[in-house]
Chains A and B, each alone.
Chain A
Amino acid sequence: GENVEQHPSTLSVQEGDSAVIKCTYSDSASNYFPWYKQELGKRPQLIIDIRSNVGEKKDQRIAVTLNKTAKHFSLHITETQPEDSAVYFCAASPTVGGADGLTFGKGTHLIIQP
């Protein structure tokens, strides 16, 4: 089955700086890669996703890049703000014939230092 590795486990950046979180996956059949943000005690919230037919997607301060050959994808957050502090999870899914269960990384605890 699919295995998703996520690094780093903790990331501390100064407010206003950029943050990058990286994930690798093992199953070449995976073609859908979402990112979720989870605040303490809250539900995971979908913040951005990418399908394997594109290499990059951007939404305001958030961008995701995908390298299918190397089987890795990354989340980039620019101009970080205190409200970006949370745990971020990457995930992968093969979506053959439609949506499928997601395999998640272990998460990155992002800390924005004022």
Chain B
Amino acid sequence: NAGVMQNPRHLVRRRGQEARLRCSPMKGHSHVYWYRQLPEEGLKFMVYLQKENIIDESGMPKERFSAEFPKEGPSILRIQQVVRGDSAAYFCASSPPSRYEQYFGPGTRLTVT
């Protein structure tokens, strides 16, 4: 059973460009979570999605950030008009229905130049 997959693993964007991060949950998992980790800090919750639904986006900035988890395909975290402060590691996690354990992917390290 493959683990949570994320791509790309590293992404470099210039200020003002768009960043698109992808996450494929573990097989059988229908819940996806996105977290952001700044250097030397803990993980900050951003958004929780189930297929075709955003359940909780309380941790996601209101502007420039959006997330989706379509019926088919991976979950996407989109950051428009990136700024230097968006540089961080972005992790997604997945959990199966009716369970609490969250399993993390390897992360996407976004660098904004």
Sorting the interface of chain A by its residue count into under 10, 10 to 19, 20 to 34 or 35 or more gives 20 to 34
**B91–A99 touching, CB < 8 Å:** no
Q: Specify the chain B residue showing the minimal Cβ separation from A4.
A: B42
- Say if the beta carbon of B44 comes within 8 Å of chain A: yes
Q: Is the CB–CB distance between A49 and B101 below 8 Å?
A: yes
Determine whether A44 belongs to the interface, using a CB cutoff of 8 Å to chain B. yes
Question: What's the interface size class on B, roughly?
Answer: 20 to 34
B24 close to A (CB within 8 Å): no
- Mark contacts of B25-48 with chain A using CB atoms, 8 A cut-off: 1 yes-contact digit, 0 otherwise: 000000101010000011111111
Q: Do the beta carbons of B45 and A43 come within 8 Å of each other?
A: no
Q: Of the candidates B48, B99, B107, which one forms a contact with A100 in the assembled complex, judged by CB atoms under 8 Å apart?
A: B48
Q: Which of A55-114 contact B (CB under 8 A)?
A: 89, 93, 95, 98-107
**Partner of A46 from B35, B91, B102 at Cβ < 8 Å:** B102
